[in-house]
């Protein structure tokens, strides 16, 4: 394994996203034969199967021929179904065609790509922006490109799998610090002394909806001369002025080297971006393998995201509606006696623990018209299987109250 794995106060086992990947990479994991793996997962209650949504995305979707309330989507603002966003995508297909045809460095860089990069840079308050094919490709590409041989990448234990894989691809040593723990981060940076360090963290963590201590991270980075990469996948369109993200909310624009975000969640489309200095953007276009060796985004995805950004700019109150619904969902769940904190964040983890119990609750809720997919290891640490509930701006408060009652009755 190229990236030596060092962990600070975090066991190298399946309890963490980093641990799970390290275990698999070192060959100590589950049986390797295909059928043995499938049987092993089935026996552990961890086998995953794809469900098929039979309608467009929205606050309600059709599943197995029935209308159900969607309570587990990242389409936070309901923009995937917004007629203006759909029309923008349709117009772009007619004007620019269905695909980009090649890597952007060959012939796949088109006017819509350039225009969206300029709009995203302005939205995030950076000099420049580089589009990527997806959030997964952005994180793996950026982390692997920036953290070179002889360097260190310092990563939060609960970072998204795409960051974990970026660490694995990077030729730097990886040091994992305990989740959101500034003392742990300081210790990791001390260990990295004498080598260039790159700190990487989600801004809003995808499975718990909590936020990274960004002020402290920036302070430590400054003291140690480290770079900072922040993944705003679940903050873009969700937090900050007009949904500009946690970095903007905390007044930290200009302090973060690379702000990654996706077009696939609150912006209702597909694709991703890295906002940074003009020099770093040039570096990424030349060194991020997921830009160089991957086809440019379809113009329709680019146009849809551009329209979503315009909606955010012109109607920032849609973010307020999301927060109001997040508060309502949390209050209704708490009123049902469920252990849920008050707050504005739309990701609401309902931790059950056992994977089969979480799946049982998911199926029972679905029978009653509430679709909240169970999330099990390795996506979350062992013993923390959950329903990851997500409020959307397009829900009504009555729908959220009814859903909370269903979940309360099933768990009471
Ligand atoms: N970062 C985080 C924090 C995520 O939660 C996700 C998606 N779940 C990604 C990156 C990947 O984004 P995409 O779906 O656009 O590949």
Last-in-domain residue among 314, 332, 364:
314
If we measure between CA atoms, which residue out of 209, 217, 215 comes closest to residue 156?
A: 217
Phi, psi torsion values for 350, nearest 5 degrees: -110, 90
pLDDT at position 412: 82
3-state SS assignment for residue 370: strand
Ligand 1 lined by 206 (C-beta under 6 Å): yes
Residue 180 and residue 298 in one domain: yes
Q: How many domains does the chain have?
A: 2
Q: Give the closest residue (by CA) to ligand 1 atom 7.
A: 135
Q: How many other β-carbons are positioned within 10 Å of the β-carbon of residue 127?
A: 13
In a domain, 53, yes or no: no
Supply the CATH number for residue 231's domain. Answer: 3.40.640.10
ipTM of the complex as predicted: 0.99
Q: Give the closest residue (by CA) to ligand 1 atom 11.
A: 135
Predicted TM-score (pTM) above 0.95: no
Task: Convert 320-348 to b/e letters by CB count within 10 Å (16 or more is b).
Answer: ebbbebbbbbbbbbeebebebeeebbbbb
Are 84 and 268 in contact by the 8 Å Cβ rule? The answer is no
pLDDT at position 19: 56
In a domain, 111, yes or no: yes
Q: How many other β-carbons are positioned within 10 Å of the β-carbon of residue 359?
A: 20
Instruction: With a cut of 50, say whether residue 34 has pLDDT above it.
Output: yes
Q: How confident is the model at residue 18 (pLDDT cuts 50, 70, 90)?
A: confident
Task: Give the CA angle between residues 193, 199, 205 to the nearest 5°.
Answer: 145
Structural domain of residue 401, as residue ranges? 316-411
Residue 240 and residue 327 in one domain: no
The preferred substitution site among 143, 211, 233, 265 for testing ligand 1, maximizing ligand atoms within 8 Å of CB, is: 233
In a domain, 202, yes or no: yes
Q: Is 234 exposed, middle or buried (0-12, 13-18, 19+ CB in 10 A)?
A: buried
Task: Convert 96-122 to b/e letters by CB count within 10 Å (16 or more is b).
Answer: beeebeeebeeebbbebbeebbebbbe
Ligand 1 lined by 231 (C-beta under 6 Å): yes
Q: Give the closest residue (by CA) to ligand 1 atom 8.
A: 206
Are 260 and 198 in contact by the 8 Å Cβ rule? The answer is no
Name the residues annotated as catalytic: 206, 234, 265
Ligand 1 atom, smallest distance to 270 CA? 15
Q: How confident is the model at residue 45 (pLDDT cuts 50, 70, 90)?
A: confident
Q: What pairs with residue 62 in β-bridges?
A: 67
Residue 250 and residue 390 in one domain: no
How many Cα neighbours within 13 Å face the side chain of 312?
30
User: From the CA of 76, how far away is ligand 1's center (Å)?
Assistant: 14
Ligand 1 lined by 208 (C-beta under 6 Å): no
């Amino acid at each position: 394994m190229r990236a030596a794995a060092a962990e600070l106060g975090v066991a190298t086992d399946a309890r963490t996203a980093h641990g799970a990947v390290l275990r698999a990479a070192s060959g100590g994991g589950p049986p390797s034969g295909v059928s043995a793996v499938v049987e092993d997962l089935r026996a552990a209650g961890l086998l995953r199967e794809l469900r098929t949504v039979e309608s467009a995305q929205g606050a309600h979707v059709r599943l197995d021929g029935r209308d159900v309330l969607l309570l587990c989507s990242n389409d936070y603002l309901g923009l995937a179904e917004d007629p203006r966003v759909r029309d923008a995508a349709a117009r772009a297909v007619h004007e620019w065609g269905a695909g980009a045809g090649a890597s952007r460095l060959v012939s796949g860089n088109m006017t819509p790509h350039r225009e969206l990069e300029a709009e995203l840079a302005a939205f995030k308050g950076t000099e420049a922006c580089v589009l990527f094919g997806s959030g997964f490709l952005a994180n793996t590409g950026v982390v692997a490109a920036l953290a070179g041989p002889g360097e260190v990448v310092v990563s939060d234990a609960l970072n998204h799998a795409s960051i974990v894989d970026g660490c694995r691809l990077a030729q730097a040593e990886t040091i994992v610090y305990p989740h959101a723990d500034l003392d742990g981060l300081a210790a990791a940076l001390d260990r990295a002394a004498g080598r260039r360090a790159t700190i990487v963290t989600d801004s809003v963590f995808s499975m718990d909806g909590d936020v990274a201590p960004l002020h402290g991270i920036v302070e430590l980075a400054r003291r140690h001369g480290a770079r900072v990469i922040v993944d705003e996948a679940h903050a873009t369109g969700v937090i900050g002025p007009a949904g500009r993200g946690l970095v903007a909310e905390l007044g930290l624009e200009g302090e973060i080297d690379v702000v990654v975000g996706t077009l696939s969640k609150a912006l209702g489309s597909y694709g991703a971006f890295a906002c940074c200095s003009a020099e770093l953007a040039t570096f990424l276009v030349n060194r991020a393998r997921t830009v160089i060796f991957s086809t440019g985004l379809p113009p329709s995805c680019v146009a849809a995201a551009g329209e979503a950004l315009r909606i955010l700019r012109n109607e920032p109150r849609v973010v307020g509606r999301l927060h109001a619904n997040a508060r309502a969902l949390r209050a209704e769940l708490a009123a049902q006696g469920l252990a849920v904190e008050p707050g504005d964040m739309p990701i609401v983890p309902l931790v059950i623990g056992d994977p089969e119990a979480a799946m049982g609750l998911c199926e029972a809720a679905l029978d009653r018209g509430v679709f909240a997919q169970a999330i099990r290891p390795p996506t979350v640490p062992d013993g923390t299987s959950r329903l990851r509930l997500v409020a959307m701006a397009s829900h009504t408060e009555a729908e959220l109250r009814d859903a909370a009652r269903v979940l309360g009755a099933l768990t009471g």
